[in-house]
Amino acid sequence: MIGDLEELVTCESYSADLEAVARSAKVVGALGRRLLGAEPEYIVIDGVTHLRWSFGTPRVLMLGHHDTVWPIGTLRTHPWSVVDGVAKGPGVFDMKSGLVQIFHALAGLPDLDGVTILVTGDEEVGSITSRGLIEESARGLAAAFVTEASADGGALKTGRKGTSNYEVQVYGRAAHAGLEPERGINAGVELAHQILAVAALGSGATTVVPTVLSGGTTLNTVPAQARVGVDVRVPTLAEQARVDRAVRELAPVLDGSRLEVSGGPNRPPLETAMSASLFALAQRVAAALGQPELTEASVGGASDGNFTAGIGVPTLDGLGGVGGGAHADHEHVIVAEMEPRTALLRGLVQAVLS
């Protein structure tokens, strides 16, 4: 397994570099072909390469992604290594170890009938080209198992917040800031009002965070335009709808100013009810394997599992590598946990298919 993980990690696959993603898809495809004895279907959408294997009538979806957040050349500063049982390298935790575990888990099954594997190439940038493919592959199935990295301490992810992204664009009127500022309509001041209004929409587990700001042209000009990006994370579909209505109902404060709101929901939440039965099953499988009692966590980050849960498919996430540091310099996987997690995944698939 470690050799296979090294092969995937050392083939860099930065989401924005479509040629790199295509090269990575070939490496992932070769790994699946060797372990499963079957060629994948290569699906290229708007230049992004995804892979899918299907065996018989689908009942279970194994879901992962092979793109990473790390720009090409990161291996020079974050080289592949295994030291004291800890593997490091770009994407090792998020989520190339999860891909290795999928293939090794399935390779140990006597029959793959009923299994579909989907490995997407744009998860880290919002799954813009793959969402339809994910929903098509998952619809009507008994279970979706997502081998994204585990939560802290190896916890499975039974809840994920849904995500929405907006841009609020403000239009005012330019004027000389020193000679006649009163003739202008200050888009920056209007934007400040809107930022406060947006930030006030957060409540409880729902976060609404103004992020990227821009506006104005020169130091001595009343800004005619300004904008802010807004990141929204919600625990329920009801909250996602509430925030969406509120953002679209934003109204200008300054006379003569004008607002435009773009964007909207990206991923629905993975609500814990969609994971409860599969987590209970995972606990039974782990106990039968003699593994320690499993733990669960709800997290703010989204994954492609949000899409499968959003169309009503029972979904269990966080079945991939155990370690830490996703998207960070200290990204790592604990090697000794790969075999037990692979066995757990294999047992889950067997239990659902039987």
The CA–CA distances, whole Å, from 345 to 21, 304, 310, 339 equal 26, 18, 22, 10
| Among 280, 300, 278, residue whose Cα is nearest residue 349 | 278
Radius of gyration of the chain from its Cα atoms, rounded to whole angstroms: 23
Could you give the angle at the alpha carbon of 21 between the alpha carbons of 19 and 27, nearest 5°? 110
Residue 278, token pair as written in the block = 């599969």
Q: Which one of the listed residues 4, 6, 12, 67 is annotated catalytic?
A: 67
Residues with Cβ within 8 Å of 299's Cβ and at least 6 positions away in sequence, in order, are 151, 157, 159, 160, 161
Give dist(CA 217, CA 63) in Å, integer: 46
Give dist(CA 161, CA 4) in Å, integer: 32
| Angle in degrees, 0-180, between the axes of helices 18-36 and 97-107, rounded to the nearest 10 | 20
Strand order in the sheet with 86-88: 81-83, 86-88, 332-334, 323-324
Q: Are 300 and 161 in contact (CB under 8 A)?
A: yes
Q: Are 225 and 187 in contact (CB under 8 A)?
A: yes
Q: Which one of the listed residues 12, 94, 122, 123 is annotated catalytic?
A: 123
Active site residue 6: no
End-to-end CA distance of the chain: 27
Coil, strand or helix at 53: strand
Could you give the angle at the alpha carbon of 213 between the alpha carbons of 168 and 251, nearest 5°? 25
Amino acid in the structure at residue 209: V
Residue 182, token pair as written in the block = 């009163």
CB-based contacts of 77-81 (< 8 A; 24+ apart in sequence): 78/329, 78/331, 80/6, 80/9, 80/10
141 φ, ψ to 5°? -80, 165
CA atoms within 13 A on the CB side of 240: 21
Active site residue 17: no
Q: Which residues are catalytic?
A: 67, 123
